[in-house]
Amino acid sequence: MTTGVPLSTAPRRRSRARTFLPLAVAAWMILEIWLLSLVAGAAGGLTVAALLIGGIVLGAVVIKRAGRRAFKNLTNTFQQAQQGRQPTPQQPGGGNGLTMLAGLLLILPGLLSDVAGLLLLIPPVRALVGRRAGRSLERRMAAAPAGSFGDAFQQARIHQPDGKVVQGEVIRENDPQRPAPGPDAGYRPPLAP
């Protein structure tokens, strides 16, 4: 079956992020462990345990508050839409995604992730990171060719078809009051798999 989409036979180049991301994660983990061992050597194991437990508790509280705020914003938007009013747009930097990311960074064990999470809890830093991420996303979306997202799904479908093809024809009756001819005019249950 052909769909008119040319298939590329050239080997795909691996992106720079996919090449260096595992190395960056490994370096980050090694640095986190090294910093924790330095703190444990200087202040003791109980201090490190208290720091880790405090980060987990604080991260859970931050994520819970951001989730509640997101749910409240969602219900307010639905209520405004049901009343026929235009929902009020959210102010820039007022989203909960970066706040939840800050909570996740606090939950992760390690001092660097805790510092990054605490920095993201500061509103000016969160707004700056949000603007930078928004601009980066806009640049990538503008640089992407038209229809590339749909083409990606079509390419995936071509390369991994599931083999289920059902040929048929849809017949729509415009006059619903006229009974259908024959004994099959009544209710028919759906076919069981």
Q: Would you say the pTM of this structure is higher than 0.95?
A: no
Q: How far is it between the farthest Cα atoms of the chain?
A: 89
3-state secondary structure the chain: CCCCCCCCCCCCCCCHHHHHHHHHHHHHHHHHHHHHHHHHHHHCHHHHHHHHHHHHHHHHHHHHHHHHHHHHHHHHHHHHHHCCCCCCCCCCCCCCHHHHHHHHHHHCCCHHHHHHHHHHCCHHHHHHHHHHHHHHHHHHHHHCCCCHHHHHHHHHHHHCCCCCCCCCCCCCCCCCCCCCCCHHHCCCCCCCC
pLDDT at 88: 73
pLDDT tens figures, 3-42? 555 555 656 677 777 888 999 999 999 999 999 999 999 9
Residue 114 has pLDDT above 80, yes or no: yes
pLDDT at 101: 92
Rounded percentage of the chain residues whose pLDDT exceeds 70: 67
